[in-house]
């Protein structure tokens, strides 16, 4: 069971890093299709780049988190609101073909935090 959890964790982590990695770089480097898509959602160039920078900081924390596990969780917690925002924006604009990755990122944020042995939420 422990091996299964470990496999699920690292596969989820790799996919999470991949999706946020390319999304952040497309925004920061202003890929034409990403800029048009964000503009259709109501985000101008400045907000798109700022969103990309925020995501890129989270991605950098995820990469550093491979060495320092605490930063891995900080990166996930930073990226979770971006996943929720992407899911909400795509659903609000009826872009159902784009919302799947955002939904998966929302779910994987929770999965990664739950499966991480270094992360706990205490409700008292």
Q: Is residue 121 part of a domain?
A: no
Q: Provide the domain count of the chain.
A: 1
Parent domain of 111: 2-115
Q: Is residue 98 part of a domain?
A: yes
102 CB-side CA count, 13 A: 17
**pTM of the predicted structure, to 2 decimals:** 0.89
User: What is the residue whose two structure tokens read 């982590």?
Assistant: 13
Q: Which two tokens stand for residue 101?
A: 């990755």
Q: Widest CA span of the chain, in angstroms?
A: 48
Q: Is residue 76 part of a domain?
A: yes
Q: Is residue 9 part of a domain?
A: yes
Q: Is residue 36 part of a domain?
A: yes
DSSP state of 107: H
Per-residue pLDDT of the chain (124 residues; tens, 9 = 90+): 789 999 999 999 999 999 999 999 999 999 998 899 888 888 899 999 999 999 999 999 999 999 998 899 999 999 999 999 999 988 888 877 777 888 999 999 999 999 998 888 888 7
How far is the C-alpha of 38 from the C-alpha of 105, rounded, in Å? 18
Q: Is residue 124 part of a domain?
A: no
Q: Is residue 14 part of a domain?
A: yes
Can you spell out the DSSP letters for 23-67? HHHHHHTT-HHHHHHHHHTT--HHHHHHHHHHHHHHHHHHHHTTT
């Amino acid at each position: 069971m422990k091996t299964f959890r470990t496999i699920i964790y690292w596969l989820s982590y790799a996919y999470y890093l991949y999706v946020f990695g390319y999304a952040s770089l497309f925004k920061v480097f202003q890929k034409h299709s990403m800029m048009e898509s964000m503009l259709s959602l109501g985000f101008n160039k400045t907000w798109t780049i700022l969103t990309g920078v925020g995501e890129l900081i989270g991605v950098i924390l995820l990469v550093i988190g491979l060495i320092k596990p605490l930063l891995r969780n900080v990166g996930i917690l930073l990226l979770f609101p971006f996943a929720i925002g992407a899911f909400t924006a795509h659903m609000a604009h009826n872009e159902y073909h784009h919302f799947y990755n955002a939904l998966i990122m929302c779910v994987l944020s929770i999965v990664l935090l739950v499966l991480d042995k270094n992360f706990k939420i205490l409700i008292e």
